[in-house]
Amino acid sequence: MAEPTRFEQGMATRRSVLGNPHVDAAVARKTDFDDDFQTFITEGAWGSVWSRPGLSKRERSMLTIALLAALGHDEEVAMHVRATVNTGCSPDDIKEALLHVAVYAGVPAANRAFRIAKDELARRETGQ
């Protein structure tokens, strides 16, 4: 049996982290304009980095949330907080990652990310 391509591995990892509904929606929104970009993130982020054996999905989730929070990428923070249901990253893990953001990237960045994480975790608890 042949090894999966980087795209196939990336798509499998992307689906395992973000869930089929999210990935299916992203694929459905894809156009000729962003097709190359979607291939790039599937192969690069998901097929190369997220698929590596060195860290668990839980650890990658914590790192990703912290980096996105530090950079102020609110929509991506929310998406990756939602994805923690699939990665094993607990609310306490998210809290610890965001405390690091406060120290190393600034209180305003952490404050914003804590608000986003609280909202997403509350939605999960209420089933929204």
> How does residue 1 score in pLDDT terms, banded at 50, 70 and 90?
confident
State residue 3's pLDDT score: 85
What letter does residue 54 receive in the DSSP assignment?
S
Q: What is the pLDDT of residue 76?
A: 98
Over 90: is that where the pLDDT of 4 sits?
no
Is residue 128 predicted with pLDDT exceeding 80? Answer: no
Asked whether 85 and 47 are in contact (CB, 8 A), the reply is no
How far is C-alpha 43 from the geometric centre of its chain's CA atoms? 15
For 37-86, what is each residue's pLDDT tens digit? 999 999 999 999 999 999 999 999 999 999 999 999 999 999 999 999 99
Per the listing, tokens 């907080």 go with 81
Which of the residue ranges 1-5, 40-44, 102-106 would you say has the lowest mean pLDDT? 1-5
Q: Delineate the domains of the chain, giving CATH numbers in brackets.
A: 1-53 (no CATH), 56-128 (1.20.1290.10)
